Chain A
Amino acid sequence: MNPITLFLLVVLIALVTIPFLGEKQKRGLLLFTELFIVVFSSIYAVDALIGKTTIFLLLGSIITGSVPIVIDPLAAWFILIINFTFLTGSVYGVNYMKAYREKKSQLSLHWVSFILTHIGLLAVCVVQNMLVFLLVWEIMAISSFVMVIFESEKPKTITAGINYLIQSHIGILVLTIAFVWVYVQIGSFSFDAIGTFAHTMPAPESFGLILLFFIGFAFKAGFVPFHTWLPYAHPAAPAHVSGIMSGVLIKIGIYGILRMLFLMPTNYVAIGVVILVISIITGVYGVMLAIVQHNLKTLLAYHSIENIGIIGIGIGVGSLGMGLGNFPMAVIGFAGALLHTLNHSLFKSLLFYGAGNVYQATHSVNIESFGGLIKRMPQTAFLFLIASLAISGLPPFNGFISEFLIYSGLINGWIHGSFIFVLLFVFAVFGLSLIGGLAILCFTKAFGTIFLGTQRHTFDHEPLESNRMALIPMYAIVALIVAIGIFPVYFVQALWLPIQQFTGTLTAENTLAVSSSLHVVQQIGFASLLFIALSGVVWLVRKQLTKKQIDSCGETWGCGYVAPNPKMQYTASSFVRTYRKLSESVLQFHKHKKEISGIFPDEAYHAIHPLDRIETYLIGAPLKRMRYWLNRFSFLQNGSLQFYILYGLVFIMALVTIPFFGYLYHFMVHLLNTL
Chain B
Amino acid sequence: MISFTLMVIASFFISGIIVRTKSITSGRKGPSIMQPMKDIVRLWKKGSVYSNTTSWAFRIAPTIYFSSILMAMSMLPLGSSPGVFSFNGDFVFFAYVLATGKFFNIIAALDTGSSFEGMGASREALFSMLAEPAFFILMGSLGLLTGYTSFDAIFQALHFGSYITYALGIIATFILLMITMIENSRMPIDDPKTHLELTMIHEVMILDNSGFDLGLIFQATNLKFALYGTLIVNMFLGNLPLYVTIPLFLAIQIMFGISIGLIESFMARYRMSHNAQFILILSSLSLLILFSVLLLLGNFNS
Q: Is A158 an interface residue (CB 8 A)?
A: no
Please, how many angstroms separate the alpha-carbon atoms of A436 and B95 in the complex?
Answer: 10
Please, how many angstroms separate the alpha-carbon atoms of A437 and B135 in the complex?
Answer: 12
Residues on A with beta carbons closer than 8 Å to the beta carbon of B93: 395, 400, 404, 524, 527
Q: A452-B110, A453-B113, A570-B110 are in contact. Are A520 and B89 (CB under 8 A)?
A: yes
| Chain B minimum-CB-distance residue to A442 | B125
Q: Is B71 an interface residue (CB 8 A)?
A: yes
**Are A554 and B52 closer than 8 Å at their CB atoms?**
yes
Q: A372-B53, A375-B55, A408-B88 are in contact. Are A394 and B114 (CB under 8 A)?
A: no
Q: A433-B136, A549-B47 are in contact. Are A453 and B89 (CB under 8 A)?
A: no
Chain B contact patch, size range? 35 or more
Please, how many angstroms separate the alpha-carbon atoms of A392 and B123 in the complex?
Answer: 18
Q: Is A604 an interface residue (CB 8 A)?
A: no
**Are A574 and B147 closer than 8 Å at their CB atoms?**
no
Q: Is A652 an interface residue (CB 8 A)?
A: no
Q: Is A551 an interface residue (CB 8 A)?
A: yes
Please, how many angstroms separate the alpha-carbon atoms of A405 and B20 in the complex?
Answer: 44
**Are A414 and B140 closer than 8 Å at their CB atoms?**
yes
Interface segment out of the listed A60-68, A531-539, A641-649: A531-539
**Are A448 and B106 closer than 8 Å at their CB atoms?**
yes
| Chain A minimum-CB-distance residue to B105 | A444
In chain B between 103 and 140, which residues have their CB closer than 8 angstroms to a CB of chain A?
Answer: 103, 106-107, 110-119, 121-123, 125-126, 128-130, 132-133, 135-137, 140
Contact of B50 among A426, A520, A551 (CB under 8 A): A551
In chain B between 158 and 206, which residues have their CB closer than 8 angstroms to a CB of chain A?
Answer: 197
Please, how many angstroms separate the alpha-carbon atoms of A574 and B122 in the complex?
Answer: 8
Task: Give the shortest distance, in Å, between B241 (CB) and chain A (any CB).
Answer: 28
**Are B102 and A545 closer than 8 Å at their CB atoms?**
no
Residues of chain A at interface, number, CB under 8 A: 86
Task: Give the shortest distance, in Å, between B184 (CB) and chain A (any CB).
Answer: 17
In chain A between 584 and 639, which residues have their CB closer than 8 angstroms to a CB of chain B?
Answer: none
**Are A555 and B52 closer than 8 Å at their CB atoms?**
yes
**Are B143 and A559 closer than 8 Å at their CB atoms?**
no
**Are A437 and B128 closer than 8 Å at their CB atoms?**
yes
**Are B121 and A558 closer than 8 Å at their CB atoms?**
no
Q: Is B24 an interface residue (CB 8 A)?
A: no
Please, how many angstroms separate the alpha-carbon atoms of A238 and B136 in the complex?
Answer: 40
Q: Is A458 an interface residue (CB 8 A)?
A: no
Please, how many angstroms separate the alpha-carbon atoms of A200 and B107 in the complex?
Answer: 58
Q: A539-B60, A539-B63, A553-B49 are in contact. Are A582 and B276 (CB under 8 A)?
A: yes
**Are A415 and B149 closer than 8 Å at their CB atoms?**
yes
**Are A569 and B113 closer than 8 Å at their CB atoms?**
yes
Interface segment out of the listed B1-9, B232-240, B253-261, B293-301: B293-301
Q: Is A57 an interface residue (CB 8 A)?
A: no
**Are A531 and B97 closer than 8 Å at their CB atoms?**
yes
| Interface-centre pick from B85, B118, B144, B283 (highest chain A CB count, 10 A) | B118
Q: Is B269 an interface residue (CB 8 A)?
A: no
Residues on B with beta carbons closer than 8 Å to the beta carbon of A449: 110
Q: Is B19 an interface residue (CB 8 A)?
A: no
**Are B119 and A570 closer than 8 Å at their CB atoms?**
yes
Please, how many angstroms separate the alpha-carbon atoms of A539 and B44 in the complex?
Answer: 13
**Are A531 and B71 closer than 8 Å at their CB atoms?**
yes
Residues on A with beta carbons closer than 8 Å to the beta carbon of B300: 419
Q: Is B30 an interface residue (CB 8 A)?
A: no
Please, how many angstroms separate the alpha-carbon atoms of A411 and B129 in the complex?
Answer: 20
Contact of B118 among A392, A408, A575, A581 (CB under 8 A): A575
Residues on B with beta carbons closer than 8 Å to the beta carbon of A437: 99, 128-130, 132-133
Interface segment out of the listed B207-215, B223-231, B242-250: B207-215
Q: Is B70 an interface residue (CB 8 A)?
A: yes
**Are B55 and A374 closer than 8 Å at their CB atoms?**
yes
**Are A575 and B121 closer than 8 Å at their CB atoms?**
yes
**Are B85 and A534 closer than 8 Å at their CB atoms?**
no
Q: A444-B110, A578-B126 are in contact. Are A385 and B55 (CB under 8 A)?
A: no
**Are B99 and A556 closer than 8 Å at their CB atoms?**
no
Q: Is B51 an interface residue (CB 8 A)?
A: yes
Task: Give the shortest distance, in Å, between B113 (CB) and chain A (any CB).
Answer: 4
Q: Is A430 an interface residue (CB 8 A)?
A: yes
Q: Is A454 an interface residue (CB 8 A)?
A: yes
Q: Is B48 an interface residue (CB 8 A)?
A: yes
Q: Is B288 an interface residue (CB 8 A)?
A: no
Please, how many angstroms separate the alpha-carbon atoms of A447 and B55 in the complex?
Answer: 13
Please, how many angstroms separate the alpha-carbon atoms of A425 and B111 in the complex?
Answer: 39
Please, how many angstroms separate the alpha-carbon atoms of A451 and B54 in the complex?
Answer: 11
**Are A531 and B57 closer than 8 Å at their CB atoms?**
no
Task: Give the shortest distance, in Å, between A529 (CB) and chain B (any CB).
Answer: 11
Q: A453-B53, A531-B71, A557-B207 are in contact. Are A447 and B107 (CB under 8 A)?
A: yes
**Are A415 and B208 closer than 8 Å at their CB atoms?**
no
Please, how many angstroms separate the alpha-carbon atoms of A372 and B48 in the complex?
Answer: 22
Residues on A with beta carbons closer than 8 Å to the beta carbon of B102: 440
Q: Is B92 an interface residue (CB 8 A)?
A: yes
**Are A434 and B88 closer than 8 Å at their CB atoms?**
no
| Interface-centre pick from A392, A433, A516, A527 (highest chain B CB count, 10 A) | A433
Residues on A with beta carbons closer than 8 Å to the beta carbon of B92: 404, 407-408
Please, how many angstroms separate the alpha-carbon atoms of A552 and B60 in the complex?
Answer: 17
Q: A534-B71, A575-B118 are in contact. Are A419 and B103 (CB under 8 A)?
A: no
**Are B89 and A535 closer than 8 Å at their CB atoms?**
no
Please, how many angstroms separate the alpha-carbon atoms of A434 and B197 in the complex?
Answer: 28
* 20 A–B pairs (Cβ distance < 8 Å), ordered by A: A394-B100, A395-B93, A418-B302, A419-B302, A429-B136, A430-B137, A433-B95, A437-B130, A452-B55, A535-B63, A535-B64, A545-B212, A546-B212, A556-B113, A557-B208, A559-B197, A570-B115, A577-B122, A578-B272, A582-B126
Known: A389-B100, A574-B119. 9 other contacts (CB 8 A): A396-B100, A444-B106, A444-B107, A454-B113, A523-B87, A545-B212, A546-B211, A549-B47, A582-B126
